[in-house]
Structure 1
């Protein structure tokens, strides 16, 4: 049985929370098993903790995507000619840095993250109170590490949030400072990291492992100067965490595209993924980036919503000889395979995706308007499976080994430890991106590493965090669909108005 098959079984067992659903896994009737005896077999444990992984799926959603890539200089969801994509100005707010505490996507993302925390707390309570669960220490460590991941997303985006760890406590929590949240995450990860399984196998794929926990630690230490500046930088801790991951058996794929293939669960570069399935909540990028007619050109049986595309300036930073250029962006003519003719939009224009575009229609006083339906380079990073008629199978890698290489390189350069080793790590990434050895670097700078991260991680939900760490997030974004400089309050998002209305003990972030 493949790991994806196991997860399809496990994720279908949400009702196992009450041990009352009629469920059949390999003919084992768990609905007839007393709750206090459930958790002795690996399949039972997988079913029991499956909800903590299922809650991760909303990370790969339009809401969170707009918050992190749509607020940076990486991506935009423009209003199309005719008004499609306006959504009451939702996407304009992310592009211009004018979001408020009532923004729907800011609210949805916060609620989703807090639900993830609550689910972890609930499953932790169930496992901890069940005397029959085998390997309980490791399972509890796994749950705590996933909860720490949710707090990583919360500290990155919202900063000051409540710390909740006990599912049985019904009192409304109060806001903890970003410093307190940072220290909590670090403490949790250090407590559980070595209790987790260390194998890099099909059985550990999709689970919170030592590799995932140490990668998360590296991320925390890498951003320590932003999230907990009074404690100083943690470059040596970044290096040590990365070295641990490098010792565990992950490998860079020689084929860069392998980590984004339809069946990318076989990639040994992926450290921790969101496991997607076409039958149980799939990858939705296809729908949110492709034009309504692109399915004909690409041989698909489902249509796109004509939404997300790349910012022109971002695309033009790429070397066209870099395989990640063609591998990340869908650009150019979309032809009908039956006739060979370029498809035509509803406005009688050829369906040719241009890198550069501008607001041409109904431009308002702020400079936002409508663009042609066909404008913009689309996301082409995750393989589109021929004939797919819904969500895609491709898993999304929250963490992959290329990030470890570049995080360690950044820490080495920032700490002045070893430019030679940092250069070697960056070149390992560039070697598979270029066929010309002349494209390798002789000595890397911080700016080289920043650019390499931009080339390597297009569409992968890291651009906002990277821009903040490298000090570019508040800067003007040039170009006809760019923006001016934005205020420093935009370095974190507001706590949603609805959350504060429901819990007056929460404190709003400064400036909102």
Structure 2
């Protein structure tokens, strides 16, 4: 079965790369393979629909455009040698990106291929006699809606397609929004309450519907000077959030960072996730993306280090500082930082006790000391101490993360910018960089409370909104102090505190009217940057069909 599935997915990928715009592909029906039970065939039809989620949520695909385009993340040309990438990360952050950006193309390809796979599954599953087929059809159709929802949010288009051999109908604006909404509403009754991690459940669909209604004003009128949030839409947000909360099936995690641990597969806060357990060969790179090249989280792997990637901007850091001044946010908000161990210089630590601090990392960093490719030992233990940029051939430069980071030579050096370690490194890895088995949240309960708070606030009920926000703040061990007032600016700040690095920031900033604001190295105020350009390869691929796929304004 595995050989059949792998070969099928490979062929589908090649077909899509050659014809990604109209989503036309040959249908390869696993159900026709001899020797398969109906259940095996049905599983084989549905599995490819979900299989692209780990690819979508890698660090240089969805993360790159949802976070680096915002005030939460900045990725400079590190030391003049790393992450230059022809300026694509600078352009993304400054909103000067264009239609040839390879990361935009990667997002487009993954999403259109996901739609294509869903269409293939929907064309073959009805003939299957397995008892799960009705649910599988709902999941495939729901995932087609989800991929289209992301296309709508990112590129302003959706593809309406039912016949695998036919062309897609392209919709934009309110017609696109209504299509995604109608599809999610249609499948919700046939989804199950519990299906396990990584699959679309009834509550997952409710969460997506709440998010869709919350952003309806944006999707209807993308370039509005001020978005109009209809009361009926906000009521729907509240309705679907109430449904999720009312099930009692989900709980806010007392340990905030446990939501992002390697063993989070059964965490009750998670509602809809990217399933990346090690036994499924998960490949979550979010753990090491931001760390220094001289931070090695796993004693077993002396080559598994960080990449000196993105940092948070000083503006985003200052939202924390300003919220809790004169106190340090690390001592008052459990979402900011988790101290797993305190290491004085030249100490020895057993491998089992070596566990990196989590959250926003500031100042001088301590960790495993590596010389000539091997970690220093103290008998059976490991020596830890003050880190220097040895891997960058700057052995006298401390790994001392600073608040300031920018595109100057000094501001883009290897230690500039406070870093983020939110997702835990996998200890099941075979190399330190594969099997990043922390499931990635698509919808979780804290976001549900915050969406409901926003819907209530936009209808004028600040007291109810405040109660929901304080519910989230109070849920964690050593809870953050309760707030006494609630405004839209405070609510956006709270979403940043709770959901940073979770790939929702761009969508949030647009909805709150802040995407045209200025922050470090970004001053562009062009409203047309609220959606990305359709990749030029897709435009070129559709050039034989005049008017079929037109470029978004401003590109």
TM-score (norm 1): 0.86
1:311 corresponds in structure 2 to: 313
C-alpha distance in 2 between matches for 1:54 and 1:297: 28
- The answer (yes or no) to whether the contact 2:75–2:89 under 8 Å persists in 1 is yes
1:364 corresponds in structure 2 to: none
- The answer (yes or no) to whether the contact 1:328–1:458 under 8 Å persists in 2 is no
Structure with the higher strand share, 1 or 2: 2
1:26 corresponds in structure 2 to: none
Counterparts of residues 75-94 of structure 1 (less than 5 Å): 75-94=73-92
2:404 corresponds in structure 1 to: 356
2:151 corresponds in structure 1 to: 154
1:57 corresponds in structure 2 to: 54
Distance of aligned partners of 1:287 and 1:383 in 2 relative to their CA distance in 1, 3 Å threshold: closer
Deviation at 1:120, TM superposition (A): 0.7
1:428 aligns with 2:471: yes
1:377 corresponds in structure 2 to: 418
1:455 corresponds in structure 2 to: 497
Distance of aligned partners of 1:349 and 1:232 in 2 relative to their CA distance in 1, 3 Å threshold: closer
- The answer (yes or no) to whether the contact 2:204–2:271 under 8 Å persists in 1 is yes
1:71 corresponds in structure 2 to: 69
SS of equivalent to 1:175: strand
Deviation at 1:420, TM superposition (A): 2.8
C-alpha distance in 1 between matches for 2:426 and 2:539: 43
Distance of aligned partners of 1:336 and 1:272 in 2 relative to their CA distance in 1, 3 Å threshold: closer
1:22 corresponds in structure 2 to: none
2:348 corresponds in structure 1 to: none
Is 450-459 or 317-326 further displaced after alignment?
A: 317-326
Deviation at 1:450, TM superposition (A): 1.1
C-alpha distance in 2 between matches for 1:136 and 1:46: 9
- The answer (yes or no) to whether the contact 1:174–1:506 under 8 Å persists in 2 is no
1:497 corresponds in structure 2 to: 536
Is 300-309 or 344-353 further displaced after alignment?
A: 300-309
- The answer (yes or no) to whether the contact 2:100–2:536 under 8 Å persists in 1 is yes
Counterparts of residues 177-196 of structure 1 (less than 5 Å): 177-196=172-191
- The answer (yes or no) to whether the contact 1:64–1:109 under 8 Å persists in 2 is yes
**Number of aligned positions between the proteins:** 473
SS of equivalent to 2:397: coil
1:237 corresponds in structure 2 to: 236
Structure 2 gaps of 5+ residues are 11-28, 222-226, 338-357, 369-381
SS of equivalent to 2:443: strand
Deviation at 1:79, TM superposition (A): 0.6
For the aligned residue pairs, the C-alpha RMSD in angstroms reads 2.7
C-alpha distance in 2 between matches for 1:189 and 1:306: 40
- The answer (yes or no) to whether the contact 2:148–2:159 under 8 Å persists in 1 is no
Deviation at 1:386, TM superposition (A): 5.0
2:250 corresponds in structure 1 to: 250
1:219 aligns with 2:211: yes
Please give the per-residue CA displacement for 1:266-289, whole angstroms capped at 9, x wherever unaligned: 101100110113462321113422
Deviation at 1:205, TM superposition (A): 2.2
Deviation at 1:162, TM superposition (A): 3.3
- The answer (yes or no) to whether the contact 2:457–2:464 under 8 Å persists in 1 is no
Counterparts of residues 61-140 of structure 1 (less than 5 Å): 61=58, 62-128=60-126, 130-140=127-137
1:145 aligns with 2:147: no
2:294 corresponds in structure 1 to: 293
Residue in structure 2 matching 1:482, options 497, 521, 545: 521
1:331 corresponds in structure 2 to: 362
Is 56-65 or 257-266 further displaced after alignment?
A: 56-65
C-alpha distance in 2 between matches for 1:231 and 1:136: 40
Deviation at 1:436, TM superposition (A): 6.2
Distance of aligned partners of 1:387 and 1:329 in 2 relative to their CA distance in 1, 3 Å threshold: farther
SS of equivalent to 1:317: helix
Deviation at 1:385, TM superposition (A): 4.1
Deviation at 1:95, TM superposition (A): 1.3
C-alpha distance in 1 between matches for 2:32 and 2:540: 41
C-alpha distance in 2 between matches for 1:127 and 1:482: 50
- The answer (yes or no) to whether the contact 2:108–2:151 under 8 Å persists in 1 is yes
Deviation at 1:508, TM superposition (A): 0.8
Distance of aligned partners of 1:455 and 1:436 in 2 relative to their CA distance in 1, 3 Å threshold: closer
C-alpha distance in 2 between matches for 1:178 and 1:37: 46
Is 49-58 or 464-473 further displaced after alignment?
A: 49-58
C-alpha distance in 2 between matches for 1:79 and 1:158: 27
1:272 aligns with 2:264: no
Deviation at 1:462, TM superposition (A): 0.5
Deviation at 1:421, TM superposition (A): 2.5
